Amino acid sequence: MATEGPYRFVRHPIYSGRLGMLLATGLVVSHWLALIAAILIYFIGTVIRIRSEERLLREALGPEFEAYARSAPALVPGLY
């Protein structure tokens, strides 16, 4: 299990990166209401996907994954 690099800060850095890209692009080319809607839709879909992936990881890795899950947030430090 990777615990170095970006995995020290969040369990799913690719999804955090995508959220950052959505936010940056939305701030540049979108209306703020559309950006809020897009972030909400992205967050809901990503949480569903994270829960599904982590269920499989818990089954495969058991206590090792549980310890890691307690040490790093899933998507956004301090939020989720």
At residue 3, the pLDDT reads 82
Residue 80: in which H helix or E strand, if any? none
pLDDT of residue 55: 97
Q: For position 63, what pLDDT does the model report? A: 95
Alpha-carbon gap, residue 47 to 43, rounded angstroms: 6
Q: How confident is the model over 15-73, as pLDDT tens digits?
A: 999 999 999 999 999 999 999 999 999 999 999 999 999 999 999 999 999 999 999 99
Cα gap 43→24, rounded to integer Å: 15
Burial 47-61 (b: 16+ CB within 10 A, else e): eeebeeeeeebeeee
